A and B are shown apart, each in its own frame.
Chain A
Amino acid sequence: MGMRRRVGGFVLLVNPILCDGFGHCAELAPDLVHVDEWGYPVIVTEPVPLANLAALESARYAVRGCPRQALRIERVSDPH
């Protein structure tokens, strides 16, 4: 998978002030985002390894697809 080993992980973060509960993120990244009873996202909080390309791609789709621009991806360094 490329020259450089992908180290560290990422978390998908939601800005709850901007979020209006459109629910697009849960459709685009179903492995990372669940929707609570009122339509707001509940996102997996523990970092996902960057090597998980499918998860990273779905997170990028969710960021791009959010009608309120309420999502962002934050990198976290490898804890070890």
Chain B
Amino acid sequence: MIALTSPYLWYTTRATGLVTMVLFTLVVSLGTLVANRVGGTTVGRFELNELHRTIASVAIVFLAIHIITTVADSFVATGPLAVVVPFVSPYKRLPVALGAIALDLMVAVWVSSLLKARVANASWRFIHWFSWLAYAIAIVHALLTGTDARHGVGLVIVLACLATVAGAAAWRFVARPTRAAGRTALSPLGVEPEPRGVQRDRAPTRPAPGPAVESSARDATPFPRRPQPRRHR
């Protein structure tokens, strides 16, 4: 084994760890934007999706550098097996184990996305949900392992990343978009559908003597078969 005693490997490990965390914060946030149907006017939805995919590729490269330099460095003894198998590292057993678990989950998400055309979409989505878990574990790994992450600028960066993704998670799970929740700006019609609250507003104010059955039946249709004529021009 070559004695790799140069401090630069260790510095690279620490630096790429921080960069990887920032990049995966961007990836998760952009994925949330895509899932919540953001875009379509000033920025295309497909552009956000492309950014999500491309930054993920870059983040994986930085993650690979982070892992390779950690293993190659002799300053801390981790061992190549500790990269994927949890709880085998002599150095910081639990924090390195969390990194290994996060890596395993990320590899699952990555490979399923590479094979997206061959994997059933429901399976891909199920696997993709685990990216939240992977991110959470990776943040704990950063806080427990990170030499720079516990004070000063490093801590500020970690907390900013954590706050960003926590906000994205809250937004994703609170504002769950319904199917086809919104046309893009490129829709040829661009017509707002008939508001559903019309019946509720009208009923108490106007006790119409006409046939109530007909109007309620018309309002109860799940959606109009054809676009309603625009009233306001």
Q: Which residues of A are in contact with B by a Cβ distance under 8 Å? A: 18, 20-24, 26-28, 30, 34-40, 65, 67-70
Of A35, A67, A69, A70, the residue contacting B188 (CB under 8 A) is A35
Contacts of B181 in A (CB 8 A): 21, 39
CA distance A27 to B179 in the complex (A): 18
Residue in chain B with minimal CB distance to A24: B46
A26–B179 CB distance below 8 A: no
Of B34, B44, B116, B180, the residue contacting A27 (CB under 8 A) is B44
B46–A21 CB distance below 8 A: no
A39–B117 CB distance below 8 A: no
Q: Which residues of B are in contact with A by a Cβ distance under 8 Å? A: 34, 37, 40, 44-46, 49-50, 116-117, 121, 124, 179-184, 186-189, 191, 193, 223, 227
B49–A67 CB distance below 8 A: yes
Contacts of A67 in B (CB 8 A): 34, 49
Contacts of B191 in A (CB 8 A): 37
A69–B40 CB distance below 8 A: no
Extra contacts besides A23-B184, A65-B50 (20): CB < 8 Å: A20-B179, A21-B179, A22-B37, A22-B45, A23-B183, A23-B187, A24-B45, A24-B49, A27-B40, A30-B186, A35-B186, A35-B187, A37-B189, A37-B193, A38-B183, A39-B182, A40-B180, A67-B49, A69-B116, A69-B124
Contacts of B49 in A (CB 8 A): 24, 65, 67
Chain A interface SS verdict (over half): loop
Which of A22, A30, A70 has the largest count of B CB atoms less than 10 A from its CB? A22
